[in-house]
Amino acid sequence: MAQSLSLLRTTTDREALAETLALLAYLQYRKGELRQARLSAQESLELNQALNNPLGIAYGKIILSYIHLDQGENEQAYTLSKESLAICQDILGDPHATADSLITLSRAAEKTGRYSQAKRWAQEGLEISRATNDRWGAGQTLRQLGLIHFQLGETREAVDLLSRAYPSLERLAIAR
């Protein structure tokens, strides 16, 4: 990946560089390399802003939201997620990106005590994920809904949602 990134930096294909940086940021995030992930995501976001690429901007903000959440920077994650959602809904009309934005927005809202909003956004994300047959997104939103219900003291609902989310996510993770 480092060689590919180095090579892309020497070309004029800024779109490919922005996409590669976003992918690198996601992989670094998944490996727990949050400092590096933040740098890669920020560079990708800046390139996409310069290129006026709304989808790239939206996904840059989504990745940064996840990083902020993992670092306890919940208000920043909330702001970035709302910005991403606005791009996805208003400009793009992209259901997959909208569902991804709703998942991070719901997580950020839950972490900042905005439980009714978190619940609404997770439910919206679940509906979109189901409508687009996105089983991973549906599993993520079921998990998120379960965590929200748990925070609200609604244990029965939480257990039901989490018991439906985890087998689904586990099957998909094994299949990947």
Q: What is the pLDDT of residues 7-41, one digit of tens each?
A: 666 777 889 899 999 999 999 999 999 999 999 99
Q: Which residue has the higher pLDDT, 4 or 26?
A: 26
Residue 150's Cβ-side half-sphere holds a number of Cα atoms within 13 Å equal to 14
| Residues in CB range of 61: below 8 A, 6 or more apart | 45, 80, 81, 83, 84, 87, 101
Distance CA 42, CA 65 (A): 11
Note the pLDDT tens digit of each residue in 62-120. Answer: 999 999 999 999 999 999 999 999 998 887 678 888 998 999 999 999 999 999 999 99
Number of Cβ within a 10 Å radius of residue 36: 15
What pTM value is reported for the model?
0.84
Question: Residues 115-138: what's their mean pLDDT?
Answer: 92
Q: Please give the domain boundaries of the chain with CATH numbers for all domains.
A: 53-175 (1.25.40.10)
Q: How far out from the chain centre does Cα 73 lie?
A: 15
Distance CA 117, CA 137 (A): 18
Please check the confidence at residue 128 and state whether its pLDDT lies above 60: yes
- Decide: 36 and 63 in contact? Cβ < 8 Å: no
